[in-house]
Amino acid sequence: MSELKMMTQIGHSENIVNLLGACTTSGPLYLIFEYCPYGDLLNYLKSNRETFHKTWSDVIKDNTFTFYHNFNQEEKFRDRLVTSVSNCSYSGLLPTPDICDKSPYNWDMSSGHVELLQAEEMKYQNTRKYNEEDLNILTLEDLLSFSYQVAKGMEFLESKLCIHRDLAARNILISSGKVAKICDFGLARDVENDSNYVVKGNARLPVKWMSPESIFDGLYTIKSDVWSYGILLWEIFSLGVNPYPGMPVNANFYKLLQSGFKMDQPFYATDEIYFLMQSCWAFDPRKRPSFTELVSFLGYQISNTESELYQNSKNIIDSLYQDNSQ
């Protein structure tokens, strides 16, 4: 019953697995949660390793017709946006935005224009989402998106004074549209047969994901969740490799951790993302970033990546079709 009380107090957020209902009338307590069809993030990354592309160049070359069609749709949507806003006045409260990069909600429009653009944008985004899912493609953009979404979910939990204590890829579920949702916060878990949970005293603990203060002092705070988030980032950008590969949890492991040892940069992480991981692993909890700061940093990374990916991909497609037309 304590789990149900906690879940109802937390409320709903896009990036947590939300409680839909509960059966409390008789017998055992049953909780009903959102269905996430793609399972946990750890296995999702592992099963899609073969389809991962660090850049979109290879994706487009392998799926030229589909992506040509999608980019034509995107250009048509942007053309409709430009046409619509040409009849509207900008509020002038902010610097004039680049129409191709900004949402229509930044504009002062009549309600009719807003509703039209909302419908057009939703239709386009849904088409793009399901086309990408059908192709079963995993990209650097997806890894950044998962990282951002988990940080958003943790920012929400922090605002509700909820500490997760077991943040890891196995406890993130993937829903339709590649939406990442945090699960298993504050809930009892069967860890007896999971090798990730190591016996320490009378408990089985996910030691490789735990902060030094949690391991050595039994102290759990939102900053210890930030440490675990850094380990989760390492899992994401290694595409599901177990943290501290080849290192058993023993006395030597604990000594290394106390000495300030940090894992090497995972293969698919940029220098900026690895810097972020290292900041999460500051031995002093006070020096670790907040989840709000992590959200801001990753949002900036995604913004830059999306702009670059769109332009590079469009150039490749234009080049391919110019070659074919000659």
Cα 167 to Cα 165: distance, rounded to the nearest angstrom: 6
38 known ligand binder:
yes
Three-state DSSP class for residue 240: coil
Residue 170 assigned as binding residue: yes
Is 36 annotated as a binding-site member? yes
177 annotated as belonging to a binding site for a ligand: no
Strands (DSSP E) along the chain, which ranges? 19-23, 30-33, 52-53, 138-139, 172-175, 179-182, 198-200, 203-205
Q: Annotation-wise, does 40 bind a ligand?
A: yes
Q: Is residue 194 a known part of a binding site?
A: no
Residue 39 assigned to a binding site: yes
Q: Which has the closest alpha carbon to 169: 114, 209, 123?
A: 209
Q: CB within 8 A of 45, min separation 6: which ones?
A: 138, 169, 235, 236, 239, 240
Token pair 């997806």 is at which residue?
142
Interaxial angle between packed helices 271-280 and 222-237, expressed in degrees from 0 to 180 and rounded to the nearest 10: 150
CA-closest candidate to residue 238, choices 216, 263, 219: 263
Dist. CA 34–CA 20, nearest whole Å = 7
Q: Annotation-wise, does 134 bind a ligand?
A: no
The catalytic residue among 58, 98, 166, 323 is 166
Phi, psi of 222 (to 5 degrees): -65, -25
Asked about 166 being catalytic, the answer comes back as yes
34 a known binding residue? yes
**Residue 35 marked in a binding site:** yes
Block residue for tokens 């988990």: 150
**d(C-alpha 171, C-alpha 194), whole Å:** 13
- Determine phi and psi for 279, rounding to 5 degrees: -65, -35
Residue ranges of the annotated binding site are: 34-40, 170-171, 184
Residue ranges of the annotated binding site for Mg(2+) are: 171, 184
Question: Catalytic residues, which ones?
Answer: 166
Residue ranges of the annotated binding site for ATP are: 34-40, 170
